[in-house]
Amino acid sequence: MTIGGNFPNRPQLILLLLPLIFATIVSSVYATCQLSFEQNNKLYNYSLTNPIRNFPHGILSEDGFYKVAANGTVLWFQLCDAMIFNHDPPTCIECGDCGGISRCGMGCSALVANTVGGYPVCTTLGYSSSTSFELIDKKDPLKGITAKLSNRGPKLNCSLAVSIVCDTNGVQGPQTLGLVGTCDYATQIHHPSGCAVIISSHGDGMGWFGTMLIIILFFFGVYFLGGAVYRYYSLGIRGIDIIPNLEFWASLPHTLQSSFTALVRRFRGPSHGHRSTYSPVNF
């Protein structure tokens, strides 16, 4: 039998799959505010920017920023996006890495102003692209999540941790401001967007594995159909032989069976003679 109809061979298949793999990586990078945690066979899904009742922009502050002040320190931040100031922009010096003098505050997602020598001095705390998330309470995903924005500066590493407490009754803006270490700030808001949606792992939603399985089946379909068409029309093959690589597929069950037997034999060791349950395994 000829092996002529070897239609989508391996390098071609990998080339076909490459854009798909790339798209998967890119989409997971940009979907920073869509996240899910798995715990006890349940999938907890947070979609922070999804519109919900009374909040068409989800967690995003409609003012363009959240603001909190304590002990002479003023802090502005936005979640899942950069800040926008239509009124009261921050007026502090050294705003270089957050928009500069004319657009101060608009170039980052978290900015703090501290009074130093009589002047308010700005420090960038983080960008939306450098946001990471963790559960407020690792044992209870329904309590909410913490968004941590960070900025690795030349002189100082800074960050802002915003705990988004799940609250189905409404929104409470930031009211307290804590300082941990030299430049790590922490605050808290209450918001319905901080509430997880539970997606059962067993029920609906195929997940990554199911999607992959469908893609693989699809390419198998293309391979058999394309191979058969090619062999029928170009090579003039008729009958059961139009199936590409028939010999290989026909021998597959036998190949698998002998590999399995060989594997079992390898793990059990030679099967002759009596063996105790605790005899060592030879590799």
Ligand X SMILES: *[C@@H]1O[C@H](CO)[C@@H](O)[C@H](O)[C@H]1NC(C)=O
| Positions that interact with ligand X (CB under 6 A) | 34, 36, 45, 47, 50, 70-71, 73, 152, 155-157, 177-179, 199, 205
Which residue, 70 or 246, has its beta carbon nearer to ligand X? Answer: 70
Q: Which alpha helices (DSSP H) does 31-151 contain, by range?
A: none
Beta strands in the chain (DSSP E): 34-39, 42-47, 66-70, 73-77, 110-116, 119-126, 131-135, 144-152, 157-166, 178-180, 184-191, 197-200
> What are the two backbone dihedrals, phi and then psi, of residue 75, each rounded to the nearest 5 degrees?
-130, 135
Which residue, 206 or 264, has its beta carbon nearer to ligand X? Answer: 206
Which residue, 100 or 178, has its beta carbon nearer to ligand X? Answer: 178
Q: What is d(CA 12, CA 270) in angstroms, rounded to the nearest whole number?
A: 42
CB of 63 to ligand X, least distance (A): 21
Q: Are 129 and 32 in contact, with CB atoms under 8 Å apart?
A: yes
* Residue in this structure with the two tokens 């030679």, named with its chain if needed: 270
* Residue in this structure with the two tokens 């960050």, named with its chain if needed: 159
CB of 65 to ligand X, least distance (A): 17
CB of 158 to ligand X, least distance (A): 9
CB of 43 to ligand X, least distance (A): 6
Its sign, for the CA torsion 82, 87, 92, 96, is positive
3-class DSSP state of 141: helix
CB of 184 to ligand X, least distance (A): 10
- 282 DSSP assignment: P
Structural tokens at position 128: 């939306």
Q: Which amino acid is at 197?
A: V
| 157-166/131-135 β-pairing | unpaired
CB of 263 to ligand X, least distance (A): 36
Which residue, 34 or 39, has its beta carbon nearer to ligand X? Answer: 34
Which residue, 207 or 269, has its beta carbon nearer to ligand X? Answer: 207
Q: Find the length of the chain.
A: 283
Which residue, 2 or 129, has its beta carbon nearer to ligand X? Answer: 129
Which residue, 48 or 242, has its beta carbon nearer to ligand X? Answer: 48
CB of 126 to ligand X, least distance (A): 13
CB of 159 to ligand X, least distance (A): 10
Which residue, 6 or 34, has its beta carbon nearer to ligand X? Answer: 34
Instruction: Give CA separation, 40 vs 142, 166, 198, 207, 259, in Å.
Output: 13, 20, 11, 16, 36
